[in-house]
Structure 1
Amino acid sequence: MTGADRTDFVHGQMTGDLRGAPTPGLVPCAFLNVRGQIEQFARAYRRPDDIYLHLDAGQAAPLAARLRRYIIFDQVELEDVSDTLRSVHVWDQAAPGWDEAGAAAQQWTLGDSLVLGGRVDRSGRPGVDLHYLARDEAAVLAELGGEERPLSDLDALRIVAGIPDIHRDALTGTLPQEVGLDVRGPLPAISYRKGCYVGQEIMARIEARGQTRFHLARVVGEGVPSHAEIRQGEKVVGQTGLSSGPHALARLRRELEDGAAVNVGAAVEVGGVTAHVQLLGHD
């Protein structure tokens, strides 16, 4: 995203505080509908000449279409760079040239390639999301060295660590506070002081009320399925996200209709499998 109005325009659409970010800077954020439900999750990189919005695969086009609907007199230009850029996650901030004590977003030359890095916790320990031109991929991966591991390895660690992935856990259409995006959550992506944006009125009401009816939890059971209803007795009390081994993150009701809590250690049924609720430590 380029143009003189890019920062003010995106700031007025997202839940995070882009204006308050340094340059370069990195701001996790959600884009909501008028009911306050998540449409997309992104990480916004503020750079001197542009703003780069990094999303899960396949999510750039829907977000670009949404943003274009709101451009009226703004001096803003959008480009989908999904075919131009590539991204990898480097665990434990081990990317050559990355300053572990430096800013959350950094840009430098790796070999002969210009790269953009962001400090992102995808496994329970901060790592680096590294972005580079597709044409430089072979050279960048050669500079990184080591063995490229499958995304499923990263999913296994983040699920145990209680870190949601909004797209892969199928958590779009939910309220940010229900799935760990609140200021004290594992993936904070909301500012309650940044001013108006789509869905902001709902966020203000939730802040005043104090909590939502659902929260992010983890369920554990042998063979627990992904994206399945969670039941306690006859009642549906939540839904699992992506599962890995015996673990799955879950959007879970805080209380049932009769007022009884879905407590830590409670037995639940997930797609015919008996599982138990675990404490995440974020709630």
Structure 2
Amino acid sequence: MSTFFTPVPSGALRVTGSDRLDFVQGQMTNDLRSCPVPGYVAACFLNVRGQTEQFARIYRRPNDIYLHLDTGQAPELAARLRRYVIFDQVEIEDLSDDLRTLHLWGRWPAAPQLAGWPQEAAQLGAAWTVQLGEAQVLLGAVNRSGQTGLDLHYLARQEAQVLEHLRAGLTLSERSWDDLQAARVAAGLPDPVADGFLGFLPQEVGLDLGGPLPAISYRKGCYVGQEIMARLEARGQARYGLSRLQVPAGTPVRSEVQSGSRTVGQTGLEAGGLALCRLRLDLPADAALTVNGQPVALAAGSLPSGDER
């Protein structure tokens, strides 16, 4: 089985300055302080109602903090962060035009021919920096397909050189972004932006500790929306959870899921006849569901409905 590579539509912010760790830590839902250097954590940025406004994978490195976002998300997050800079010694740069990201997946891409490459399967959250010719590449062990793969972050002007070095050590086959999204949805992994889940509570769409993409720490300091998160932890469960539905091809993102005349959820991205779904937890097991007037059903092996903390 070859290793697949897929370009990832991306945005990127870089935060530098002596106060960078304290500043970013105070804005996000996860605990960057506990992250190894280098390493990364998934995290949300919430509004005062606890709803997700942005999602990022945040890399802690010796001299900076790198925030990897979905395409188009960097300007909004940069503006948000700058509003909270008062006396903090930080600089916030939008590097979206200068950086590129691709994801390696399929066969685990460990290859002795590539200098500095990890030789053992990595744990999620691990990160490395390797040199591929003149290109310095940041690697992160990320699950985007149902198994651990690698995100590679590098300068856009060095993309041809990066691919040349990868092909020298790996049997590479390009797969489209749609192919990777289909694998993600089939594996039950949410993407808050692609699935249209921004605006919902993290616990409702698989971002809690028991979910497939944990992005919260309940033991870190305060941040915007933290009071709501504490209330949900005390209550033990949100009213909605993440499920997976069989839906008609072409179902739009955020289509309403109906049970009779009652709206009981919203769909994420449809791929291969499947879509993740924010769905109420109080539905009877035999509830008849429809989307855009068409009957739908929970997919076989669907995700657990509630939080498993």
TM superposition score category, shorter chain reference: over 0.9
**Superposed, which structure 2 residues align to 1:157-236 within 5 Å?**
157-223=183-249, 225-227=251-253, 228-236=255-263
Of the three residues 89, 92, 101, the one matched with 1:78 is 92
Aligned partners of 2:71 and 2:62: how far apart in 1?
25
Say yes or no: does 1:241 pair with 2:241: no
Of the three residues 78, 82, 95, the one matched with 1:68 is 82
TM-score (normalised: structure 2): 0.86
Equivalent in the alignment of 1:141:
163
Of the three residues 43, 54, 57, the one matched with 1:29 is 43
Q: Which runs of 4+ in 1 moved over 3 A?
A: 98-103
Deviations 1:141-187 (A, max 9, x none): 12223222111111111111110000010110000000000011000
Residue 224 of structure 1 deviates from its aligned partner by: 6.1
Q: 1:282 to 1:25 in 2, by over 3 A?
A: farther
Q: 1:165 to 1:21 in 2, by over 3 A?
A: same
Residue 254 of structure 1 deviates from its aligned partner by: 1.1
Letter in 1 for 2:43: C
Aligned partners of 2:34 and 2:20: how far apart in 1?
14
Equivalent in the alignment of 1:250:
277
Question: Once structures 1 and 2 are overlaid, which stretch shifts more, 47-56 or 110-119?
Answer: 110-119
Letter in 2 for 1:60: A
Equivalent in the alignment of 1:280:
303
Letter in 2 for 1:6: R
RMSD: 1.5
Aligned partners of 1:222 and 1:180: how far apart in 2?
23
- For structure 1, the residue ranges without an aligned partner over 5 or more in a row are 256-260
Asked whether the equivalents of residues 224 and 271 of structure 1 are also in contact (C-alpha less than 8 Å), the reply is no
Residue 221 of structure 1 deviates from its aligned partner by: 3.3
Q: 1:262 to 1:162 in 2, by over 3 A?
A: farther
Aligned partners of 1:188 and 1:85: how far apart in 2?
26
Q: 1:78 to 1:262 in 2, by over 3 A?
A: farther
Aligned partners of 1:173 and 1:133: how far apart in 2?
32
Equivalent in the alignment of 2:105:
91
Asked whether the equivalents of residues 243 and 304 of structure 2 are also in contact (C-alpha less than 8 Å), the reply is no
Aligned partners of 1:116 and 1:194: how far apart in 2?
27
Equivalent in the alignment of 1:15:
29
Residue 280 of structure 1 deviates from its aligned partner by: 1.2
Letter in 2 for 1:207: E
Aligned partners of 2:52 and 2:119: how far apart in 1?
33
More relative contact order in 1 or in 2 (CA 8 Å, sep 6+)? 2
Letter in 1 for 2:21: T
- For structure 2, the residue ranges without an aligned partner over 5 or more in a row are 1-14
Asked whether the equivalents of residues 243 and 276 of structure 2 are also in contact (C-alpha less than 8 Å), the reply is yes
Say yes or no: does 1:113 pair with 2:135: yes
Letter in 1 for 2:261: E
Asked whether the equivalents of residues 18 and 27 of structure 1 are also in contact (C-alpha less than 8 Å), the reply is yes
Relative to its length, the structure with more strand (as a share) is 2
Equivalent in the alignment of 2:288:
267
Aligned partners of 1:281 and 1:112: how far apart in 2?
46
Task: Report the count of equivalent residues.
Answer: 277
Residue 266 of structure 1 deviates from its aligned partner by: 4.2
Say yes or no: does 1:156 pair with 2:178: no
Q: 1:4 to 1:242 in 2, by over 3 A?
A: same
Aligned partners of 2:242 and 2:26: how far apart in 1?
27
Q: 1:99 to 1:271 in 2, by over 3 A?
A: farther
Asked whether the equivalents of residues 25 and 32 of structure 2 are also in contact (C-alpha less than 8 Å), the reply is yes
Equivalent in the alignment of 1:59:
73
Equivalent in the alignment of 1:42:
56
Identity among equivalent positions (%) equals 58
Residue 101 of structure 1 deviates from its aligned partner by: 4.1
Asked whether the equivalents of residues 127 and 140 of structure 2 are also in contact (C-alpha less than 8 Å), the reply is yes
Secondary structure of 1:7's counterpart equals helix
Residue 195 of structure 1 deviates from its aligned partner by: 1.3
